[in-house]
Each structure stands twice: as C-alpha cells, then as structure tokens.
Amino acid sequence: MNKVIISLAPVAASTPIDADALALDVKKSVESGAAMCHLHCRRPDGSLTADTGFMVECFEKILAETDVLVQASTGGVSDLTIEERCTPLDYVKVESASLNGGSTNLGEAVYKNSFEDIRYCAKAVYDKKTIPEIEVFDIGMIHNIEMTAKEYPFRDPIIYNLVFGHKGGMQPTVESLAAFRSFVPANAKWGVTHFGRDNWNFLAAAIAMGASIVRIGFEDSAYLAPGKSASMNFELVERLAHLIRAIGFETATPDEAREIMNTLK
C-alpha cells in the first residue's frame, strides 16, 4: 500500500510560541497521522533568528512526547545571511532540512536564494549528514538543483517540495500541479505545500497524482472547513489523514518516513 508522509509545519509566521502547547499539539498530530515536524528557528515571539536555543527547546519538548522526524528550516524571508539561516543544522537531532531552490517573490517581499546560497546550503546539509527537502517555487528551480547536484552530488532519493499559493509564485490549480509535476525527474520523490489553503481539492489532487509528502499546518493555513478554522494543528492532520485513506493510501509512521526519505544516518 502506498504510504504518504504528512509533514506538519505547526507555527504560523510571526506568532508567539508556547513550547509546551506546541509539544502537545505535535504529539496529538503524530497520533493522528503526522510523521515529520518542520520548524523554523524562531524566538518565543515568533520572529526568525540565528540563535537555535528556543528551536532546540521546542524540539526537545516535542521529542519527549513523540518520536517525530525532525526537520529544520533554512529559509524564511528575513535579513539573515545564508550562514545564519543554516545554524539549525548544528542541532544534532535534525534529520531533514529545507533547501531552497532559487529566488522568488513571496507576497511583497523578495525571497533571495542565489546560486551561491544554494551551493552553501547544499554543502552544509550534507556535511551534517542531513537529508534536504528541496523547496521549489517554480519549474526553473528544478533545473537549478540539477545543476547544483553536478557540483555537490545529492543522496537518493532527491526530494522536491512543490510550493504553491504564494503571491508571486505558482498558484494551486490542478493545471499548474500537472505542469510542475511533469518536470520532476523520474528518479526523484516529490511533495506539495499549499500556502493560504482555503479548500482541500488541491491536496486531494496531489495525493492522487502520487505525492510522497503533503505538508499541513498553521504555517501555511488553519483552514479546516468552509467557515471554520482549526484551533489546533492535529485537527488539520486528522482531516488530511482521512483524505489520504479515502483515496486508498495510508499515512506513514515516523520510522516509515525515515525509510522513504532515506534519513537514517
């Protein structure tokens, strides 16, 4: 049976974080079908920082409750340098990390990821024996990674996260998904993020088309149903897990996710 990894990104940008409440929410999310937890390096007030102290505190409290696969972000629109963005890789329990495939507009902001940045992050990720999930916001970024992989050979499988829904980027339509998906190399795995999600149709289409990873959580949207927002992330995971099973697939456990992503060091 096909296994789909539910990746939980539980913290909305620039919102205060209660580490204890976050750990409880992630625990319930794993019990509901999530396998991976994606966190940015933030201060308690939600702002991005190069100081990993609070991120480590959050993950330690989460891991005291559940054996979720730990994924750290090296991204986010900020004034941080690429070296500062990669400090989360110093946390020894990080198993996967985001690797951004190029520059794009995110709303009114410009999200800068030069080739120099991509090469630096790729080397930093692999030096820490961590598996990258490659964030791509348009088709050309897949080509960027293919060129970078000639200089820094990537471990199989290469994993692309196709990101839709940001102002200035690819929009979450089935037509855009089909076009984007057609450029993913045959030997790679892929997943999706739908920022600003206001329905479940796009995620259903991605699962049916073979997505290995589907991201859900307050970082992208709290939408649960028409006129209703989730109060905790696990409600979103429950809904997504139900959708995955309705299509005829199953949710991956954290250990199954590690095997699928080849994160085992």
Per-residue pLDDT tens digits for 146-195: 999 999 889 999 999 999 999 999 999 999 999 999 999 999 999 999 99
Interval 188-203 mean pLDDT: 98
pLDDT of residue 152: 86
Give CA–CA dist 249/242, Å, rounded.
10
pLDDT of residue 265: 55
pLDDT of residue 75: 93
Structure tokens at 193: 């993020």
| Domain boundaries along the sequence of the chain | 3-261
DSSP 42: B
Task: State the pTM of this model.
Answer: 0.97
The full DSSP string for 123-177 is HHHHHTT-EEEEEESSHHHHHHHHHHHHHSPPPSSPEEEEEE-STTS----HHHH
pLDDT of residue 1: 76
Give CA–CA dist 258/159, Å, rounded.
13
CATH, domain range 3-261: 3.20.20.70
Give CA–CA dist 43/53, Å, rounded.
8
Interval 239-246 mean pLDDT: 98
